[in-house]
Structure 1
Amino acid sequence: MSDVIRLKKLGKNYGSRRGLVDLDLSVTRGEVFGYLGPNGAGKSTTIRLLLDLIRPTSGRALVFGEEPRRHAVPLHRRIGYLAGDFVVNPRQRVDECLNFLADLRGGVPRVRITELAERLDLDLSAQIKTLSKGNRQKVGLVQAFMHRPELLILDEPTSGLDPLVQQTFLDLVREAKAGGQTTFMSSHIMSEVEAVADRVGIIRAGRLVACDTVAHLRASTLHEVEVTFTDAPPEAEIAALAGVTGLAVAGDTARFQLAGSPDGLIRLLAGHRVAALRATTPDLEQLFLAYYGTDDNAMEATRV
């Protein structure tokens, strides 16, 4: 599969502050890539570099094998973009705005616009200045998806949307993937990324700290395990297992964290009588926190 996005040692400085640091990343054709991080981590900076809205301090960004700086206009024709701060003319009606944007793209069937608006429960006759934040976001989603672009670049796409519309958005991403489109989706909402992403990148203070499938990221993190035995727990045997930390025994119950394969634990438990077993698999939010944590020194690391 060919790379739709390829970043090579990409860096961006804002004066003495580093927005991105030596970012290496690739996104393949047809992939849904979730880009996670809190505000200020570098997500929007990455997207603006991809679109040539700002220029890199170092390194290269390639989209469809071309540099955005030299080929911005033809590349933009192949991209559907939703900005994190989507703004359009507030004096227009929704249909006027979308028809205008469609004409700028060389024309989009009006039935396509109507279909998307109906699915997102967007009133095409409303004036944009009367819309809530969530409904303005729906306008942004329609304009990003309406021309069926080869690449969707979405910056915090569900901001302000209610849960039902969020589900419709996820359906649109799945349909885009089924049609061969590529999606690069920046978000800090873990559940939506986990629902559709093939791979996840976690950015921390301008640096990519993890990039893998959710399943592989889970395999490399700690699992919370609780085992209740019918007899006294084999404390020494559990403590000797590879990957076990934080062992605490209370009565007939042992609680601990397990990293890596559970094979050794399963073999140990097979030799004992177990009354109950609970192992908690971390969700994407827990994985994110494991990489990001609450370390305030991360932002200081980006200062020159």
Structure 2
Amino acid sequence: MTTGSTAIELAGVSKWYGRLPSGHSALDSIDLSVEAGSVFGMIGPNGAGKTTTMRLLLDIIRPSAGSIRVLGSEPKSGGPELRRRIGYLPGELRLEGRVTGRSLLQHYARISGPVAPGAIDGLAERLGVELDRPVRTLSKGNKQKLGLVQAFMHRPPLLVLDEPTSGLDPLVQREFLAMVREARDAGQTVFLSSHILSEIQQVADSVAILRAGRIVTVSSVEGLRQSAVRRVRAGFADATPGAVEVALAGIPNLSDLVVKVSGRAAGGVTDITATVGGDIDAFVKAIAAFTIVDLAIEEPDLEESVLKMYGAEARAER
């Protein structure tokens, strides 16, 4: 499968348990398309439906409604042949037993298909996991590393990774993100979930934001960044607070404006702090009319933007 085709397609997918309306709805009419050769991130709080979506892709559970295609096949009919083309890391990884990590990975290799010589040791070295210790003696973080090795080791066309950095220290998280970029560069598709937006934005091409089993939005990371909120701070040497307020009054995406005068220079300086949502062009043009002695524009706050999206979705449901 090459870039430009579709690796994952969900159309009207719902999943519920028990009989509705008294039963529990885990997913509600999800439509989703993931381009092959891309990194697609799914963000949402616990219980949003991320794990349910991933289990549907692997045919661990089946949808109550809608259709799914993964690498050109339906999960329910793809069988072992399809699953061997997927590297999967579950969100709740349980590895126990007296066998060593190496023995366990060799067992998985017999199931998943050919693994290139040296691939297991190379990945283990990158992630810093000892393969010759019994699995039961490993910490949660080291078990997570073993899970990542088994997902990546046979270089599958599709990687499905549920909360992959759980339990990993920052240095290992950085190495994992490098592995994801390398997989994309090699033409693999990566579908990963997280509740940490900053993690997703470092590697993802596109992102879906979930809340309560529904998609709030699907966007490129760059598109999300452009629509995100920025904190701005500025100081003007030749403007009164009233003049500044008038100049900024017509900017619809400006909020939380605070104007005050400081004594940093003769005659005082008018300082402002504010929040600008999305396009910052109108704000920059408005303040260009003054003599600017101080200006700071923070990077877009994607976390805050996502929280606002959750809030808007919640209000729409009322």
TM-score (norm 2): 0.89
Aligned length: 300
Tell me the CA shift for residue 191 of structure 1.
Answer: 2.3
Tell me the CA shift for residue 295 of structure 1.
Answer: 8.7
Q: Which amino acid aligns with 1:76?
A: R
Note closer, same or farther for the CA distance 1:125–1:297 as it changes in structure 2 (3 Å cut). Answer: farther
State the alpha-carbon separation in 2 of the partners of residues 38 and 260 from structure 1: 24
Partner of 2:42: 35
Worse-matched range after superposition: 180-189 or 99-108: 99-108
Q: Which amino acid aligns with 1:30?
A: G
Residue 163 (structure 1) aligned with residue 166 (structure 2): no
State the alpha-carbon separation in 1 of the partners of residues 197 and 278 from structure 2: 23
Worse-matched range after superposition: 249-258 or 136-145: 249-258
Residue 286 (structure 1) aligned with residue 292 (structure 2): no
State the alpha-carbon separation in 1 of the partners of residues 312 and 136 from structure 2: 39
State the alpha-carbon separation in 1 of the partners of residues 153 and 216 from structure 2: 34
Partner of 1:4: 7
Partner of 1:250: 260
Q: Deviations over 1:230-270 (max 9, x none)?
A: 13242112112232233321221122222332222222222
Q: CA RMSD in A?
A: 2.0
Note closer, same or farther for the CA distance 1:191–1:263 as it changes in structure 2 (3 Å cut). Answer: closer
**Aligned counterpart in structure 2 of residue 79 of structure 1, from 82, 86, 90:** 86
Partner of 1:240: 250
Note closer, same or farther for the CA distance 1:200–1:131 as it changes in structure 2 (3 Å cut). Answer: same
Partner of 2:52: 45
State the alpha-carbon separation in 2 of the partners of residues 69 and 183 from structure 1: 21
- Percent identity, aligned pairs only, is 47
**Aligned counterpart in structure 2 of residue 277 of structure 1, from 271, 291, 295:** 295
TM-score (norm 1): 0.93
State the alpha-carbon separation in 2 of the partners of residues 74 and 246 from structure 1: 56
Worse-matched range after superposition: 232-241 or 251-260: 251-260
State the alpha-carbon separation in 1 of the partners of residues 223 and 85 from structure 2: 31
* Contact 2:230-2:301 within 8 A present in 1 as well: no
State the alpha-carbon separation in 2 of the partners of residues 295 and 25 from structure 1: 18
**Aligned counterpart in structure 1 of residue 141 of structure 2, from 124, 134, 139:** 134
Worse-matched range after superposition: 39-48 or 281-290: 281-290
Q: Structure 2 matches for 1:45-124, cutoff 5 A? A: 45-124=52-131
Residue 151 (structure 1) aligned with residue 161 (structure 2): no
Q: Deviations over 1:68-95 (max 9, x none)?
A: 1111322101100001112234221111
Q: Which amino acid aligns with 1:202?
A: I
Note closer, same or farther for the CA distance 1:93–1:294 as it changes in structure 2 (3 Å cut). Answer: farther
- SS at the partner of 1:250? strand
Q: Deviations over 1:127-183 (max 9, x none)?
A: 000000000001100000000000000001111111111111111111101100000
Tell me the CA shift for residue 276 of structure 1.
Answer: 1.1
* Contact 2:227-2:279 within 8 A present in 1 as well: no
Q: Which runs of 5+ in 2 are unaligned?
A: 262-269
* Contact 1:13-1:19 within 8 A present in 2 as well: yes
Q: Which amino acid aligns with 1:244?
A: L
Tell me the CA shift for residue 294 of structure 1.
Answer: 10
Q: Which amino acid aligns with 1:131?
A: L
- SS at the partner of 2:300? coil
Tell me the CA shift for residue 280 of structure 1.
Answer: 2.4
State the alpha-carbon separation in 2 of the partners of residues 107 and 221 from structure 1: 44
* Contact 1:228-1:274 within 8 A present in 2 as well: yes
Tell me the CA shift for residue 11 of structure 1.
Answer: 0.4
State the alpha-carbon separation in 2 of the partners of residues 254 and 171 from structure 1: 40
Q: Which runs of 5+ in 1 are unaligned?
A: none
* Contact 2:226-2:300 within 8 A present in 1 as well: no
**Aligned counterpart in structure 2 of residue 268 of structure 1, from 269, 274, 286:** 286
Q: Which amino acid aligns with 1:257?
A: T
* Contact 1:12-1:18 within 8 A present in 2 as well: yes
Q: Deviations over 1:20-57 (max 9, x none)?
A: 01111111011001111111110000000111100111
